[in-house]
Structure formats: C-alpha cells, structure tokens
Structure 1
Amino acid sequence: MKDRLLPAAIIPAILDLAIRNRLNVETLLHSAEVDPGVLSHSGTFVSVEQQLKLFDAAYQGMNNPAFGLLLGESIQYHSLDLVGQLIATSRNVQEALDELFLFKDLVTPLTSFSLETLGFNAVLVYSVDRVLVKSNWIAHHDVMAASIFSIANAIIPQGLRLTKVRFVHTQPDYVDEYQRIFNTSVEFGCLRNELVFDKRQLSEPLLTSYPEYHSGVRARAKDKLKSIESRETLAAKVAYFISRNLGAAATQLEDVAANFNMTPRTLQRKLKLENTSFVTIRDQCRHQRALRDLSDPGVDMEELAELLGFSDISNFYHAFKRWQGESPGAYRKQALANRGL
C-alpha cells in the first residue's frame, strides 16, 4: 500500500500550514523525498509513503501536538482537487458522502469510511490504517475529523450540526482546541472515530451544488483513478485488491487472477518478475488487517480468523505468530494497553 500513488493535492495544504509556522519548505520536501515540482505542476503524483513522511516532518517541525486539528481546520474543498469538487457540487450531503467514499483513494487511501443512521442521528465512522500509519496517528485522526467538519461548514447552508464527536485515542493535553473547533461534546477512548449529526441533514441541499458540472468532474475522477492504477506495479495492484476484499469477496489465487484478466499461472509468473509471489502478498495483507483489527476490542478473534480466510482459529494463531513473533492474544493485550483500554 505504501507504494500506492495518489495525487499531490493535499501537499500544498501541509506546506501552507508549515509556512505560516515559519518552517523551511525545502527542508520538509527534501526529508520526505518529494520533488519540489509538485508545487508548480497540477496533476502530479506522490507515493503514500512520501505523503506520510511529509506529514510527519511537518508535525515534528511545528512541535505542536494539535497539528492535525490545525491542518484539518485549514483544509477546504478546493484543497482536495477533483474529490473536493465532487463533494462541493453534489446535490446534498448524502451524495457528497457517497462521492467521498467512492473516490477517497484519490486523497486518503489509508482511511476507511462508513455511514450509519441511528434514531435521529447520522454517524460518520472512519478509521486510519494503524499498520501503515506507524507514528502520529492521533494527528491523523484529528486532521480527518477537522477537515470533514471544515469542508461541511463551507458548503452546507447552516453548517454541519454536530451532536457529538468521538475519538478512539485517549484525551490529549490540547482538549481546548477540540472544543474550539467542534463546539460540541467530544469524547475520547471510544471504540470508533465518529462524527454524529442530525440525520435530516443528509437530504439537505448544498450551497455549491452544480449537477451539470458534477457529472464532468466525476468522469475526470474516474480517469484519474485509472491513471493511478496504470502507474502501479502489479504487486501493488494485487495487494490493494486483496486488502479491499478480505472478508467481503473471494481472494484466492484464481479469484485475483480473474480480476486482472489473467490465468493463475500468468499472475504468478508476472509477480515473480517483480521479486514477490501471490502467497507473500496475501500474507502481508492478512498480517496488516490482523494488526489493525486486533487493536479494536470490539472485533471477535474467531470472526477475524474467518474473515482472513483461515479454516479455524488455530491456523490463524500459528500464522500470526509466524508473522509477528507473538500470539494474537499477546499482541491485542499490548495494543489495547497502548490505547489506554
């Protein structure tokens, strides 16, 4: 996944915040191995790893634990290139969220989203890939919540009427910043990251709605997704396919080969040319998903073993110990302790 490419749309927002805090942009770009050309050319791409490095470098340079909230607060829909345009020109809040979920890999491939309706509330749930985001993950939670709220307030007539905001991380020292930005009840140490709001807003028209323009932007967004896929190695494409479909669709060799219009033998041969194998990639995807889900106390271990494609929990146990060097139970205990749960 770290090899996956994405448009460099979010980088100017990071650099703008860095400049306002008197950080040297050249130093930041160099530390993240990002070509300065991303600042002068639209349509450029960076790897997920480069974006993570730049995020971490800016975070360290500012030396402000509220970095994620400040960055998210500064992001507007135009900061997100085509995805931002899709969101802003949607007919209503529901359609805007649908577009975010569908095209989120153009801006935030390490984040997963879902939407639930409970009683009078709509609940936007999101999670950050804890396997790949190894550092400053609280800041990643912060930037996601603050940017969604910031963009929503710019395009919804009366703003997003939040009733509660929940975070999985424990309460940090800068709790006043959360109150300043969200101006509602904020809870920490929860099972999920959630933005809870009045579900009637889902059908609320947007100030910036423009259906005729929207259809054209959507076509361009689809083309950009295809462009990203065409630049990636086959191994990266296979890993992405397996990661997205674990527990949702078949991910055996035959299924993955069919998705790429290849025979299993051809797929294995091409992966060998990239110095990897199907089994290696599938194990990496299973390992990453296991690490992520074991840090969630609401995930049942037997159900996780089944989701990952193991015939029983014993086989999952042995595989995890081979991957991680410790049992899944021991890993979960430490992961939950790190979260204060």
Structure 2
Amino acid sequence: MQGSFCDNIVRSSTKDAMPDSLGNYLIPTSYSRIVARELGLQERELPRLLEGTGLPPHVLLAGDESRISGQQQLQVMTNARRISNDPAFGLRLGSQLTPRSHGPIGYLALSSPDLLTALKSLRDFLPIRIPFAQVDLHEQGQSMACDLTILLPAPTTQLRMLVECFALVIQSLVESFLGRELREASIHFEYDRPAYGDRYEKYIHSELHFAQPASRVVLPAHLLTEANPEGDANSYAAARDMCAALLEQVPVTALSMTDRVKRFLLAQPAGSVNEENVARSLYISRRTLARRLQAEGSSYRRIREDMMAEMAAVQLRQGQLSVESIAVLLGYHDSANFRRAFRRWYGCSPQSFRDGVKPE
C-alpha cells in the first residue's frame, strides 16, 4: 500500500484546497452530478444545468475528476433552482448529501470511533472537497455548536441554499451514527425565515431558529460519545487504504466509459451498487451503458468482477483480515458465495491463495 488513507488526504490537501487565481474555490464536479440527479435530468438536458458556466456536459458524467470554480458551482445551483422552479431546492439538495456523497471525507467520518471524532474529521478535512465552507466546533456547557461559515461571496439566495445544504450535511452525519432521526438538536440560521419556511420541517428534524447571530447546529454533549454503529474499525481502515490505492491506478484524463464505471464503483462501498445505479449516475439507460461498454470490448459484469478479484487479492496478501471479514468488506453476505467467486477468479480457495498454494 502507498501510505494510509489519511496520508493520501494530507498529501493532496494543499493543492486541492487552494483557491484558483481569481479567488474562486475549486470543487469536485460530483456535487453538480448530485444536483443533476435530484432534478431528474437526462443526458440531453445536462447543458441546461451548465448554462453560463462555460463547462462541457461531460463534467457531469460519473467518473469525471474535474474541479470547477466556486462561481461555476453557484451558477449550477442558480440554474438548478430555475429549472426546478422550487425556492426550496437547497433543502432538497441537502437531503441528498449523505456522508458517502463526500467521497473520502465521508468514509473517514463513518469509520470514526465516535460522533465527536467524526465531526472533527469533517472539520479538519472539509477543504479537500468543499474549500469554500468551514465548520468550527465549540463546546458550550452541556452542548457543542457546529458553526457553519461560507467563505465564498454569494448572493442571498445562493448563500441560503448553501447553508441549508450544510445544516443537512451535519444532520445526516449525526443520524448515520444514531440510526434514527436527530430530534434533540437546535438548528440556527442567520437569515430570516424565508417564504417557504414551512418546508424546513419536512427536511430538518430538530428545533429551528431563524435570524440568529450565526448559522450553527447545536448538539447535546451526550451524543458526542455515540459509538460508530458500523462496527469493525479494522475493516473500515483497510477499506479506506484499499480504495485510496486503487483510485490512483485509474487514469484521470481521457476517461473511457470503462474508466468512468471503474471510478464510480471505487467511490462506493463495495457491493452497494448495481448496473442500474451506474447507468443512472451517467444519465443513460442500462441498455445504453451496456452498448457503450461493449463497443470498448468490456461489460459491467467484467469490470465489477475484475475489481472485486483485485480487491480480494490485495486484502489476502496483506493478511490483516480473516476470509470472512474480507467477504463482508466486498459486500458478500455469505462467505460461501465469496469463496465460490474467488475460486472462479483464481482457481483456488482464498486460504490457499493466502498460503501461496498454486491453483488446482
């Protein structure tokens, strides 16, 4: 392995978090893809979302690793609000921003041993993905305040949308740990209650306060020691290192459809998506995806099988996890199914492979 997951984050953070020469912050296009999905856009409709940005439609395709400026991201959100004809689109978008939508930061947070560590992970590594926002944590007696600051100059409407999104990002992270809706927090917004204020209660589950000195989420202190419900910390650490190393192997430029599918699969928990999910992320039908992959001499099944086989081999060679743990890591609910798949890939059992026994 080429260093730990966190090492990879630290190495990339200086370049990725820096504003461009015009003072705009550079942001992954993955967030604009979430916008497009929430709008239900088809491939031919993508240019509407990018009007006024100067960006080509391919930046909205899964696997694209481009970064866009803060101003371009604001324009995308402005276009989305117009296309949706919904003043509460910021709330709709925020509800889609689960921890896993933030790529490596989300996995880092979800692998944390407790909620406080997860919030600190979000605070410390947010510049890697969303450099125009800042989260600060402040203890306040029997509570902790998560202050939200938007560093990017933005008109009132867009600023409100961004703050709505970030309040829901915090809520989603906390709810991932609790395994239930967050009801005991207090959510503060520094702007006045908007005309669509009654819509907030559909998306935000805690007490709401408008026209406050700062935008923040206030959490009871007892929640901060909430343990990670995902369990096996070693498996999650191994998954993070594995994904960080494998992502480096996929070309960043001139992506083929095969490369795009690989990048999408590598950015998800193993075994958590299917061919339909991949097609939807590319704004095409499953049939179109199959046709384009076939033109490249590939297929979804072949890509998935090759990646799973490589991941399994990496973990077995490292020797840190049991065969059963590797099966779970790769999304197999039955280790017997994993063993059968492994024999198909390598002609031997996982344990024989680990022991260096030649294929039968």
User: Structure 2 length as normaliser, TM-score?
Assistant: 0.55
Task: Give 3-state SS (helix, strand or coil) of 1:51's partner.
Answer: helix
> Matched residues in 2 for 1:126 and 1:220: separation?
29
Of 90, 115, 127, 1:93 maps to 115
1:152 aligns to 2:174 (yes or no): yes
Unaligned runs of 5+ in 2: 1-18, 248-360
Instruction: Tell whether the 8 Å contact from 1:23 to 1:62 is kept in structure 2 after alignment.
Output: no
Provide the identity percentage: 21
**Residue aligning to 1:217:** 240
Contact 1:91/1:210, CA 8 A, preserved across alignment: no
For residues 214 and 11 of structure 1, the distance between their equivalents in structure 2, rounded to whole angstroms, comes to 28
Asked if 1:141 corresponds to 2:153, the answer is no
Q: Which amino acid aligns with 1:217?
A: R
Compared with structure 1, are the counterparts of its residues 49 and 116 closer, same or farther at alpha carbon in structure 2 (3 Å cutoff)? same
Partner of 1:234: none
2:37 maps to: 16
The counterpart of 1:179, out of the listed 180, 197, 201, is 201
In 2, the alpha carbon distance for the partners of 1:34 and 1:210 equals 42
Query: What is the distance in 2 between the residues matched to 1:42 and 1:207?
Result: 32
After superposition, give the CA deviation of every residue in 1:216-249 in whole Å (9 maximum; x if it has no partner). 6379879x9xxxxxxxxxxxxxxxxxxxxxxxxx
Report if aligned partners of 1:28, 1:54 keep a CA contact under 8 Å in 2: yes
Partner of 2:48: 27
**Cα distance in 1 between the residues matched to 2:92 and 2:202:** 11
Could you tell me whether the CA contact under 8 Å between 2:183 and 2:206 is conserved in 1? no
Cα 1:139/1:42, change in 2 over 3 Å: same
Match of 2:220 in 1: 198
C-alpha contact (below 8 Å) 2:112/2:228 kept by paired residues: yes
- 1:51 Cα deviation after fit: 1.8
Q: Report the Cα distance in structure 1 between the residues aligned to 2:42 and 2:92, rounded to whole angstroms.
A: 11
2: CA distance between counterparts of 1:113 and 1:129? 11
Is the aligned partner of 1:113 residue 2:119? no
Q: Tell me the SS of whatever aligns to 1:24.
A: helix
Change (3 A) 1:205 1:164: same
Tell me what 2:94 maps to. 72
Q: 1:147 to 1:82 in 2, by over 3 A?
A: same
Shift of 1:159: 4.3
CA distance in 2, matches of 1:10, 1:221: 20
TM-score by length of 1: 0.58
Q: Given that residues 111 and 237 in structure 2 are in contact (C-alpha distance below 8 angstroms), is that contact kept between their aligned partners in structure 1?
A: yes
Other structure's SS at 1:165 match: strand
**Counterpart position of 1:55:** 77
- 1-side partners of 2:44 and 2:160: how far apart? 22
User: In the alignment, which of 187, 192, 199 is matched to residue 165 of structure 1?
Assistant: 187
Question: Is this contact kept in 2: 1:72–1:150, CA < 8 A?
Answer: no
Distance in 1 (CA, whole Å) between partners of 2:181 and 2:241 is 24
Query: CA 1:36/1:208 → structure 2, altered by over 3 Å: closer, same or farther?
Result: farther
Shift of the 177–6 alpha-carbon distance from structure 1 to 2, 3 Å rule, reads: same
For 2:185, what is the secondary structure of its paired residue? strand
Displacement of 1:193: 0.5
The more displaced of 17-26 and 72-81 is: 17-26
Bigger Rg over Cα: 2
1:102-154 alpha-carbon deviations (Å, 9 max, x no partner):
11112221111111122221211111125256752111111111232123323
The one of 44, 52, 57 aligned to 2:66: 44
